[in-house]
Amino acid sequence: MLNVEGKAPSTVYRIMTDFRALLGYAFRSEVLAKLPRWPTQKVPRPRPKFLTFEETNRLIAAAAPLDPWQAMVIVGVRTGLRYGELAALRWQDVDLDGFKLSIEENFVNGVTGPPKSGKGREIPLSRDAHAALVAIRHNRGPLVFCGPRGTHIHHATAVRAIQQIADRAGLVGIHWHRLRHTFASHLVMRGVGIRTVMELMGHSKIELTLRYAHLGPEMRRDAVLLLDEPPPVRVSAPNPPVIWDDDEAAPDDDESEGDEGGDDAPRPARGPRRRPADRRHAPSRAIQ
């Protein structure tokens, strides 16, 4: 029915997931005697939409007259933080000297909790993100991005702000999560590995990050072309020097080489005992 109505696959998937959760709650509450059989429908995740490099610069420039929105836009597009992580960011999580952020909290629906993945992460700061945070350093409270009284910014206020900034930049359909997609997309386009992008984004599954993999075809091509290179040359480690004791004499060159001859040739006298170099003994004379 939903497909007949022309709903997008992702919309159908969300509706079916919510309805299945409702049935499960009814069963656990003993409203239903048993769960009905429910068809499963796998929906491919749509490729994330992101801003181009030029659009990103336009968006940042359009936010210039607005405080603290420009800093919030810059940090969002340069760190990939979720909106809730931006709203919960505290100055104690910002290491300006170390050029990094520690993401420990998430602010959603008026409640502060752990990040969506359930664990924190550390994100390095780019130069422009660092400069933006230095520019808005304030003493209104522990929150980095906050209202005039140091309180959390209401989500509706933030939504109106990003829409106003997008209008000034001549962009449509821009929301805070689009900045997160832009961060990951730009990293992959610049050749950053998927595993590194996954860690920076705080994804719990690599499948979430693989949605950006199509943006790095040149990176995959360059990796395969490495097979055309000559094989690496393996260099063996040099033999350690032989150290002689102080009370032992190194054999003369003639004695060390021995006499040439067959099996009947007399064997040379055994030279003094040698031992390999050892850090516990100071060398007195090494064979050159």
Q: Which residues are identified as catalytic?
A: 82, 116, 177, 180, 203, 212
Rounded CA separation 209/196 (Å): 10
> Do the Cβ atoms of 87 and 69 come closer than 8 Å?
no
Count Cβ atoms below 10 Å from residue 166 Cβ, excluding itself: 22
Peptide bond into 230 cis (omega under 30): no
Q: What tokens were used for 165?
A: 């900034």
**Rounded to whole angstroms, how far apart are CA atoms 184 and 181?**
5
Cα angle 79-49-224, degrees, rounded to a multiple of 5: 80
Residues 246, 252: Cα–Cα separation, whole Å:
16
Distances (CA, A) of 132 to 11, 119, 127, 199, 200: 37, 26, 9, 23, 20
Q: How far apart are CA 198 and CA 80, in angstroms?
A: 11
Q: Which two tokens stand for residue 227?
A: 């097979």
